Each structure stands twice: as structure tokens, then as C-alpha cells.
Amino acid sequence: MLEIVRRTLLEPAELDNKDLDLALNRLVSGSVDWGDFYFQRSLSESWSLEDGIVRSGNWNVDQGVGVRAVSGERTGFAYADSIALPALLEAATSARAIARAGQSGRQRVFHPVQVPALYGEMDPIASHPAGRKVDLLKTVDAYTRSLDPAICQVSVNLSLNHDTVLIASSEGDLAGDIRPLVRLDVRVVMENGDRREQGFSGGGGRYELERLLEPEFWQLHAEEAVRQARVNLTAEAAPAGTMTVVLGSGWPGVLLHEAIGHGLEGDFNRKGVSAFSGRMGEQVASPGCTVVDDGTLPDRRGSLSVDDEGIPSGCTTLIEDGRLTNYMQDRLNAGLMKMKPTGNGRRESFAHLPMPRMTNTYMLPGEHDPGEILASVDDGIYAVNFGGGQVDITSGKFVFSASEAYRIRNGRVAEAIKGATLIGNGPDVLTRVSMVGNDLALDSGVGVCGKEGQSLPVGVGQPTLRVDGLTVGGTA
């Protein structure tokens, strides 16, 4: 894979190891502890169809190199939107000047970072012509409309990406990765009298477009979007108060991602601003709760062969049986905290600095059957899907709106409710988990995580969970 990456990124610019050596020596000479180059070529394509009409079609290619110089806690960063030796040398000079601290550095001989290639040479953009992709959107639109006469609007979106990255560090590491990414979304609006409600479903991952073209894939998401809209058309106003909440498996793990995951990223803990700062080894969750971040899962949206610093991806156990065992680390924060990098250094593009970010974050399964968990609740709420939410990293407080939820009455799922909002504190909510299901599921492949203005694809997941004493904001 590394040779494929070099041919894609370096050979067209007539760059070789000697050029990288020259530029890295300029980067670290006289002032810098260490530094790295991040080369990237990104191809993207997207299509949008609304009410049977193609509203937009975009194709874009972007390439460049990000240059980072680190001295102690200081970081200098510059980038060039072209891959060429003059631009590389100029960016190296700029980054070094920003981070200058009066030390000296030496470039070592490059050695390749050997990792399993998760995705090989697959290219979802080049694999099919544009007409085939537009035909897919029209087919999905027609099928979706055939499912229910109450449907008044349908929108279908297709996005495809193909990234090639190469990371060269001043310590001599040379690593590359090829990252395909595809996604299909279906959104519908249904009406009944003067009431309108919508439903949404989508999915994708790091694989070829061919998988999205299979009827089994797009029919599933069309049917799920219609099902959600039907549920919302009959939903009643949600109650408010403190009550038992059962969180469904799969996508509800987004609450875990936001309320817990960000607080376990290394930079927040190094700065002492996370609710989990200084709590390593402490019981921060109920026994039976084990949370991991795993960037090695095949096909998953958040998976990478190596992170954006050239560190091989791994599976990091963050919370084990309720005890805090690790943070997610990039190279900079790991070094300053005297810990090991965990393969979580990620960036949106070559024009951004890396920082500790999640990949696929989820809770491992427990011992309870989901039916047993629901049967244990006399009166509560069953939250199956979530929409938007907000989290304060420092306090851990969160607010999440449920896009699909039901009342639980006498151990049975009852009427659908609308407008339910879950309010709580991340570290506290984990201590309120009283039952963990045996039905771990990951999301369908739609997760996008934002941090400091950078957006990245991620995965989430969890088994069914019973959470006691959670505050619910309602509309009743």
C-alpha cells in the first residue's frame, strides 16, 4: 500500500526520499523537537435528488501538504495547497519559525510503518460513471414513493470520497493510507391532514460503491425512513420529569460519544478541563460498563489503517468494568502527559492540525436480553433514535433530543412520543446504568463528529441500556 501512496502523491511532483530528508532537516534544524509532513490527495463527489429532480452534483479534487513543527508545548503549523518541493520547503520554514525554541534536530533515515491495509486500492468514485449514480438516486426515489401514498416529499443524497495520505516524520517514520468512504441518505416527509412529519435513514462505510447499489441496501434505508415518518405521525406529546430511560442499541451510542467520549480525549485531560481529568483508575461508571475506541474494524466509517500522524490504529479500552483506564491520545498530548499515543491523532485535512479524536467508540455488550430490560421498567421511556444534542466538556452536562421514542408501561412498549429531551451529566449518567444488554450494535454509518471547527467521520454503538433516574424534558 505504501508504494501505491508514494506513486499517487510523490511521483507526480517528482519528490523522493532525498527531498523529504532535505525538507525535514530544514523543518527541525536549530529550533524544533520534532515535526512531520502530512500529504493528502482528496477526491469527492456528491449528488442530491429532491422530488425526482437532481438538485446538485459536485465533483472536487483537493491536494496539498500540512507541515507541523513542535517544540515543547508550542506548535508551528503551515500548509501548502500544492505538492511540490518549493512549496514544501516554504511551509517547513514557516512552521519552524512559529515553533522556534533554539534547539537543534536531526533527520533519521526513513523506515516504513508496516500496517495491514484495511481498504487497498478500491476507488468508489472511479468505479462507476456519473449516470449510474444518478440512476441510483432516481430508483431509490421511485421505490420510496411507492411505499405509502401519504409521502409528499422525498430527498436522496449520495456522497463518495477517496483520500490518499502519506505521513513523513522527523523521527524517520513513513506511513500511508488509502481511505474510501461512501454514504447514501434517504429523507421523507409524510402528511396526514394538517400534520407533517419526517423520517430519515442512511448508511455507508469504507467500501466500494457497489455495496450501496444492491437493492437490499437502499431498500432497507428507504423503508426505515418511511417507518420513522409513520411513527412520528402518530406520536403523542412526551412527558417530563425524572424517570427510567431505556436506550436502544446502535445509533443511541451517539449519546455515549458526545457525553462521555469527548471527555476522554487527551487534550482536554492534559489541560484539566474534562470532567474525567485526574480520575485515572477511579470508578466512573457502573460495574459492567466497558467502553472502547476501535479504529481497526473493517469497513467502518471511523476506521483507519494509520491515524493522521502515522500511528497504527488500535483498540483502546477507555473504561473497563466501570473504571477509567485510558484516554485517547495523539502524539503531542501523549508525550506531554508521558503516555503512549493510541492512534487517535486525526485531522479534517492537510490544512488542519491533528488532535485527539474518536474513531469508532462503543460500549461492549453485557448479559441482559433487551426484552428483559424493557420488562423490568414499570413506567419510563424507550429512546430508539436521537437527533441533535449539546455537550459541555468541562461540566459533562448534555442535552439530547430523541427523534424516535416510546412510553414504557408495565414492562411493555406503548405509544410513540414526540419532543422528548434527555438532560444529564456524562460522568453521572454512566453511574446510573443498571442493566447492559447483550445486543451490541454499531450505527449504520452516518456519524460525523465536530471539534474545534473540524468535522470527521466516526462510528458509534452500544447495546440496549437501562438508565435510572434520568431527567426528561417533554412537551406534554
- pLDDT tens digits, 412-422: 999 999 999 99
Q: Is 122 helix (H, G, I), strand (E, B) or coil?
A: coil
* The pLDDT of residue 389 is above 80: no
CB 242 within 8 A of CB 467: no
Higher pLDDT, 140 or 391: 140
Residue 350 has pLDDT above 90, yes or no: yes
pLDDT value at position 2? 86
**215-234 helix and 130-145 helix, angle to the nearest 10 degrees:** 40
Model confidence at 104, pLDDT cuts 50, 70, 90, reads very low
Q: What is the mean pLDDT of the chain?
A: 93
pTM of the model: 0.94
Q: How confident is the model over 175-187, as pLDDT tens digits?
A: 999 999 999 999 9
pLDDT at 471 over 90: yes
Q: Averaged over 73-101, what is the pLDDT?
A: 90
What is the distance between the alpha carbons of residues 393 and 273, in angstroms, rounded to a whole number? 7
Which of 26-35, 149-158, 465-474 shows the lowest per-residue confidence on average (mean pLDDT)? 26-35
Instruction: Tell me how far CA of residue 301 lies from CA of 13, 181, 448, in angstroms.
Output: 30, 7, 9
The pLDDT tens digits for 279-304 are 999 999 999 999 999 999 999 999 99
pLDDT attached to residue 109: 47
- One-letter amino acid for residue 438 of the chain: N
pLDDT digits 0-9 by tens, 301-332: 999 999 999 999 999 999 999 999 999 999 99
Region 331-359 average pLDDT: 97
Which DSSP string corresponds to 88-111? HHHHHHHHHHHH--S----PPPPE
Distance (Å, rounded) from C-alpha 319 to C-alpha 289?
7
C-alpha cell at 171: 523521527
Distance, in Å, from the CA atom of 139 to the CA atom of 137, rounded to the nearest integer, reads 5
Band of the pLDDT at 110, cuts 50, 70, 90?
A: low
pLDDT at 363 over 50: yes
How sure is the predictor about 258, in pLDDT bands with cuts at 50, 70 and 90?
confident
Report the alpha-carbon distance of residue 424 to residue 283 in Å, rounded.
Answer: 18
CB–CB of 401/387 below 8 Å? yes
> What grid cell was written down for 139?
430508483
Question: First CA to last CA across the chain, in angstroms?
Answer: 57
Q: What is the mean pLDDT of residues 145-150?
A: 97
Mean pLDDT calculated for residue range 90-100: 89
Measuring CA to CA, which residue among 256, 188, 264, 238 is closest to residue 404?
238
Model confidence at 348: pLDDT above 90 = yes
Quick one: pLDDT at residue 108?
42
Residue 111 binned pLDDT confidence (cut-offs 50, 70, 90): low
What cell does 339 get?
A: 503516555
